[in-house]
């Protein structure tokens, strides 16, 4: 029974991927196979530019999000536990707000952001930090709940460590699996985010894929398949890291 379920599960995911691979390598003129669509992923200047933009957005979003979220969650648990529910509410709030509302609500703020930083797609980093908070919060919160945080902090402090040393050298190594989970999930969210970028008028990878799809279907499908495969690889690495962390 379990084997049959695994087969059905595999077919459910693999058949669409096979169909995408088949379509992206089909030659509509010659009737054979061609890798022209996949070759466009590295030769099309606009597509390459959108890939670079999305990757930079993912890196900046993850770095800024972790720099703010991890110390905040640790500090709240150690020093102000009464604010834990408030922080949780604020971090999970973006799940309840439609992307359209977020874009419209931040329009006036982004006038100042554009004035100070210029009209660049990288300014989407500020919005993406908000969008990934719910997913990152859950990953880091689960990691913090699995360790004796107060005991570790008190032991480090009693040995003369400052708060920075306590967080960076004592606590962070013990929640590394949760931090990696938050980072990988955030990368997947940023690389797949379409609505905010499209409404804001910036050409990220998902927006470029939709634009290309209007004129070049195979290249659009090839880019979509490459993004999916990259996301699956991230989730696989996340699963392996989490499993290793639990065994450790």
Task: Check which CATH number belongs to the domain holding 189 and give it.
Answer: 1.10.3720.10
- Residue 131: phi, psi to the nearest 5? -70, -35
Q: Do 150 and 239 lie in a common domain? A: yes
Task: Give me the torsion for CA of 222, 223, 226, 232, rounded to 10°.
Answer: -120
Structure tokens at 182: 């938050």
Would the CA dihedral through 169, 172, 175, 179 be positive or negative?
negative
Q: Do 150 and 204 lie in a common domain? A: yes
Residue 196 to residue 154: CA distance in whole angstroms: 43
Q: Do 25 and 48 lie in a common domain? A: no
- Residue 17: phi, psi to the nearest 5? -65, -40
Q: Do 51 and 153 lie in a common domain? A: yes
Q: How far apart are the first and last CA of the chain?
A: 32
Residue 43 to residue 71: CA distance in whole angstroms: 42
**pLDDT truncated to tens, each residue of the chain (248 aa)?**
777 887 887 778 788 888 888 888 887 777 678 888 888 888 888 888 888 999 999 999 999 999 999 999 999 998 898 999 999 999 999 888 888 888 888 777 777 777 777 778 888 898 999 999 999 999 999 999 988 888 888 898 888 888 888 888 889 988 888 898 899 889 989 988 988 888 888 889 899 988 888 888 888 888 888 888 888 887 777 777 666 655 55
Q: Do 64 and 148 lie in a common domain? A: yes
Residue 38 to residue 85: CA distance in whole angstroms: 47
Residue 62 to residue 152: CA distance in whole angstroms: 26
Residue 2: which domain range? 1-34
Q: Do 154 and 180 lie in a common domain? A: yes
Buried b (16+ CB within 10 A) or exposed e, 18-42: eebeebbbbeeeeeeeeeebbebbe
Q: Do 71 and 181 lie in a common domain? A: yes
191 within 8 A of 230, measured Cβ to Cβ: yes
Q: Do 100 and 136 lie in a common domain? A: yes
**Which H or E run includes 78?**
helix 45-79
Q: How many domains does the chain have?
A: 2
Q: Do 10 and 54 lie in a common domain? A: no
241 falls within a domain: yes
* Closest to 94 measured CA to CA, from 176, 207, 186: 186
């Amino acid at each position: 029974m379990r084997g049959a379920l695994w087969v059905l599960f595999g077919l459910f995911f693999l058949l669409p991927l096979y169909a995408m691979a088949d379509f992206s390598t089909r030659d509509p003129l010659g009737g054979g196979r061609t890798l022209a669509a996949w070759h466009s992923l590295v030769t099309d200047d606009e597509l390459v530019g959108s890939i670079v933009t999305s990757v930079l957005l993912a890196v900046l979003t993850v770095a800024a999000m972790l720099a703010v979220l991890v110390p905040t969650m640790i500090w709240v648990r150690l020093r102000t536990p009464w604010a834990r529910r408030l922080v949780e509410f604020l971090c999970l709030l973006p799940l309840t707000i439609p992307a359209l509302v977020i874009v419209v609500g931040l329009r006036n703020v982004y006038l100042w952001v554009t004035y100070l930083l210029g009209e660049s797609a990288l300014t989407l980093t500020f919005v993406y930090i908000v969008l990934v908070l719910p997913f990152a919060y859950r990953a880091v919160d689960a990691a913090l709940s699995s360790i004796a945080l107060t005991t570790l902090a008190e032991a480090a402090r009693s040995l003369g460590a400052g708060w920075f040393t306590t967080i960076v050298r004592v606590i962070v190594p013990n929640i590394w699996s949760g931090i990696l989970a938050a980072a990988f999930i955030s990368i997947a969210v940023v690389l797949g985010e379409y609505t905010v970028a499209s409404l804001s008028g910036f050409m990220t990878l998902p927006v470029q894929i939709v634009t290309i799809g209007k004129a070049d279907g195979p290249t659009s499908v090839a880019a979509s398949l490459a993004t999916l495969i990259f996301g699956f690889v991230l989730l696989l690495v996340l699963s392996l890291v989490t499993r290793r962390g639990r065994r450790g």
